[in-house]
Amino acid sequence: MTSRIPRDSRLRLVGPHTPATAAQVVGRRRTRRPAPPPQGTPAPAELARQARRQLAGAVRVARWADTALRPGSDRAVPDGSGVLTEATARGAAEDLELTPGQVRSDWDTARLAGLIEVHDDCARPGWRLRAWDRDDGAVLRGWVALFDAWSLARPAPESLAPGVVAEVVESMPQLLSLLQLSDGAVSLSQLLDLLEQRVTELRTGRCEIQYGPQSQSQPQPPEPAAGLAPFLEWSLAALAEVGALTVGTGQATLTPLGSWAVWVKLEQICVAAQSPGGHIEQPAEDMLRGCAGLRPKAARDEYRAWLAARPVAGAVTELLAAARGDDALLRGLAFEALRVVGAPAEGEVRSVVEDGVLRPYALLWLAEHEGADPEEAHAALTRREATWLWVDTAAAVADHGDGQLLVRHLESAVQPTVPALLTEVRAVGHPRTVQVLVALAAAHPDPALARAVRRAAFQVHTGGA
């Protein structure tokens, strides 16, 4: 008997939304409703307009690079570190009627904001540049990426001790929080006092008793932080350069963009603090299991908080290790978390494209990263890869969900009929094929279709035709 699958819904659960759909099977937890932004915060459209104005120079250089530095062009290309060569900087300055110094500054800003990416010694536009004119969310995420990298946007002078610079960078969230909560100007003397207190706390926290004979039973407390005025001046100037604050006579004030960004980060901390399982402290596998029952937005907030608490490279490695496990649900959720990581994960994701288990997920991730519409990203997969992903997602549903969701998952297959689906499912060689087919046969209300699926499971199990 042939059962035809509706063509208008056959891709409903396949592709980038598969992990979130599979997560529905483990139930929904009540999540904290986000607090509204502070009173007086501009609407997102206005914040995006301000961010576009702040990054206008970087966008101009990025669009120039999109045309002038394409593979095969006769222009000089940046070296492997992404630094412009002298010839390229001069050429851009001539084309854009800027100085080479302005070009270099805008180029660095564009890279920090994700407007330009460098791959194999060639510059190419980042996905944010493609969406710049139509997607306010992409614009705001680009500006926040620059805000997070403020200490790189304007590196500290060589005259400032690197160790103290690191302490100051680590202390700045407290100063920014004071500025945000003050809802107005804060005196530089007050900021300097807070910076000295915070640096002293950091040094005290690192003060430990040394092993071996000691002349005294207790360690000597560190010297109180002092002489930090030049460091405060540099950090405020760097934050002003990215558009987060303004510095006046003896005081500093957050811009609307800066106030909004600090509020967003405070909200992320609150979400992490109120997570049901304390996910921020857990390894990737446990964190993903804890997020499986959350709504998509709440899960993304958890991913962001978890990622913020550890180095990006290590976090990506840990997520991919979790994705390689036996639990298909974790595989999908791991790639959802990698979508939150964004561009810094690209190299590692590309490295697993040849991994048979991770390949479909990696190809979908890369397609979205390169600008494909999430609803159309499945076009990056071959028919065989799409079928393998269908079985993998079905395995997640069978392990963590109920029969009705597994039956609905049948409608998401790319094949137009159930017999065609069964033929291709048997051919892809997924290790969970038998279990998936048995579970589907047990759940499906149509006896004839259930018998056909059960027969296919038996044939896979016995190796028959």
Closest to 135 in 3D by CA, of 48, 22, 43: 48
Q: Which two structure tokens, joined as six digits, stand for 222?
A: 């560190």
Q: Residue 26 — very low, low, confident or very high, per pLDDT cuts 50/70/90?
A: very low
Residues 95-116: tens digit of each pLDDT: 999 999 999 999 989 988 888 8
**Per-residue confidence (pLDDT) for residue 268, from 0 to 100:** 62
Q: Which two structure tokens, joined as six digits, stand for 164?
A: 């103290």
**Residue 4 or 33, more confident:** 33
Q: Residue 121 — very low, low, confident or very high, per pLDDT cuts 50/70/90?
A: low
Query: Which helix (H) or strand (E) covers residue 125, if one does?
Result: strand 122-125
**Residue 340 to residues 365, 380, 404, 408, Cα–Cα distance (Å):** 11, 20, 30, 28
Is the pTM value of this prediction over 0.75? no
Residue 170 — φ and ψ, nearest 5°? -65, -25
Residues 328-379: tens digit of each pLDDT: 889 999 999 999 988 888 889 999 999 888 999 999 999 988 888 877 888 8
d(CA 462, CA 450): 18
Spatial strand order in the sheet of 186-187:
186-187, 251-254, 245-248
Residues 283-332: tens digit of each pLDDT: 899 899 888 878 888 888 888 888 877 888 889 999 999 999 888 889 99
Strand partners, 254: 245
Give yes or no for a contact between 230 and 160, defined as CB atoms under 8 angstroms apart. Answer: yes
Mean pLDDT, the chain, rounded, equals 80
Residues 393-429: tens digit of each pLDDT: 988 888 777 677 888 888 888 888 888 989 898 888 8
Q: Which two structure tokens, joined as six digits, stand for 6?
A: 């509706």
Residue 235 — φ and ψ, nearest 5°? -65, -40
Give yes or no for a contact between 199 and 225, defined as CB atoms under 8 angstroms apart. Answer: yes
Closest to 21 in 3D by CA, of 316, 353, 374: 374
Per-residue pLDDT for 210 more than 50?
A: no
Q: How far apart are the first and last CA of the chain?
A: 18
**Per-residue confidence (pLDDT) for residue 59, from 0 to 100:** 95
**Residue 157 to residues 104, 105, 162, 249, 324, Cα–Cα distance (Å):** 18, 16, 9, 22, 44
d(CA 306, CA 275): 11
In the 8-state DSSP scheme, what is residue 254?
A: E
d(CA 465, CA 423): 10
**Per-residue confidence (pLDDT) for residue 463, from 0 to 100:** 66
Residues 432-451: tens digit of each pLDDT: 888 888 888 888 888 888 88
Q: Which two structure tokens, joined as six digits, stand for 144?
A: 């926040």
**Residue 9 or 415, more confident:** 415
d(CA 100, CA 91): 9
